[in-house]
Structure 1
Amino acid sequence: MSTERLSAIADAGLRLIAREGLRGLTHRAVDAEVGLPAGSTSYYFRKRDDLVTACVRRLVEIDLLEIAATGIADRAMTADQLADMGADLMWHWITVDAHRHLARYELLLHSRRRPELAAELLDAGDRLRVAMAAMLETQNCAQPASTAAWFVSCIDGVVLDQLTGPGQRRMSRSDLRAFAITLVRAALADPDGR
């Protein structure tokens, strides 16, 4: 089984979900999106639910790779450096990588009716919060685990709003930077005032 081919199938699935919703995610549509011979996707993922799960796992894989690529968990940074990095990521997510995040929200809504998918997404969210907590701990955050929970939720809320808000003015890179510095300062503040 080619990891490259499986990633290409899941990536195509994410694009389809973002463009057409989950109704557009079929084995045949993925084959066409990737440019594979008919039946290729169903060879790797017999059931549609398996294909949906592969898309969820690919989302998490890419998220964790993005966090690791920043090197943010490896060294302490200033609040300004963290805000720049956060603004860059959010800008990337609402422009270049918008399809991936639109697919994420579609999958989250779908999971309300699919307990097995909800469990997969919960596990994925937990892994992201653990990675964020590790990053915050490296940045000397006083309460990294609890801070990671609201930190991730705030970022997710901005990205969701920017991708789906009706008539919403898109935030500029500098708007995102202003949001990010406020968020970073709140995350790194010592709640006990020390």
Structure 2
Amino acid sequence: MSERERDMMEATLRLIGRSGLKAVTHRAVAAEIGMSLGAITHRYRSRDLLVEAALNFALIREVKRLRALALRLQSEALDVGAWIDALVGWYAKELDTEPEIHVACYEAFLAAARDDRYRPIVAEWHQTWRRSAELALTAAGSRAPRLHADIFVSATVGMVLEQLAAPRRSFKKEMRAALSELVRGLIGQR
């Protein structure tokens, strides 16, 4: 992907993150990045193509970032507390610096609920998270790591969505406490 296309995708995602899918028009994207309207419409003839490209871009990029995070966290997986700390720290930083991108990813999840085209990349996103969580939960002694990873990922996704919708200053502390309690419950430790 060229730098110009990447700029278009990131501008489209910022618009989606700030105002939802309805905010995306060729003209709005052009204004967001200071590019000519013709350059946008030449590459993406319809608004639907522009939105589809941006949502796919967001999810593919997020899968790559999650894989990189999972690799970094693997060394911490044997210490579940350190793994949770690193995960929570990563999300806290992400939501402070790029909340619009994460909102756009949730928009992509909703798009997948309505349209089969988005389902494979959303499934890949979940598989990436599940594999990372499975590794840590196996190391923690889970007797059902796949099931427990699904529960852990669902809880994490829910907490991140809640933080995007109603930000709290205590997010990092609360998320760490909630995930730690969840893992203790899943593996039977009190």
* TM-score for both structures, normalised by structure 1: 0.78
Instruction: Note the 1:38-49 alignment, pairs <5 A.
Output: 38-49=37-48
Conserved? CA contact 1:137–1:144, under 8 Å: yes
1:38-64 residue CA offsets vs partner (Å, 9 max, x unmatched): 211222211211111112112212222
Which residue of the partner structure matches residue 3 of structure 1?
2
Partner SS state of residue 39, structure 1: helix
**Deviations 1:148-178 (CA, angstroms, capped at 9, x unpaired):** 332222111111111213xx64434222222
Scaled by the length of structure 2, what TM-score is found? 0.80
Q: How far apart are residue 73 of structure 1 and its match?
A: 6.7
* Cα drift, residue 109 of structure 1: 4.5
Number of matched pairs: 183
Partner residue, 1:92: 93
Question: Residues 173 and 119 from structure 1, CA distance in 2 versus in 1: closer, same or farther, beyond 3 angstroms?
Answer: same
Cα drift, residue 11 of structure 1: 1.0
* Cα pair 1:82 1:184 within 8 Å, conserved: no
Whether contact under 8 Å (2:163, 2:171) holds in the other structure is no
CA distance in 2, matches of 1:130, 1:146: 12
The aligned runs of 1:126-145 (5 Å cut-off) are: 126-139=123-136, 140=138, 142-145=143-146
Rounded Cα–Cα distance in structure 2 between residues aligned with 1:120 and 1:88? 32
Letter in 2 for 1:85: A
Partner of 1:77: 78
- Normalized per residue, the structure richer in helix is 2
Aligned to 2:165: 164
Query: Quick one: which amino acid aligns to residue 133 of structure 1?
Result: R
AA matched with 2:176:
R
Residue 170 of structure 2 aligns to a residue in which SS?
coil
CA distance in 2, matches of 1:104, 1:164: 13
Amino acid at match of 2:79: T
One-letter amino acid of the counterpart of residue 121, structure 1: Y
CA distance in 2, matches of 1:61, 1:111: 14
Residues 82-125 of structure 1: CA distance to partner in whole angstroms, max 9, x if unpaired? 1112211221343212111222334444565xx4xx32333222
Identify the residue that residue 25 of structure 2 maps to in structure 1: 26
Structure 1 gaps, min length 5: none
Give aligned-pair identity as a percent.
28
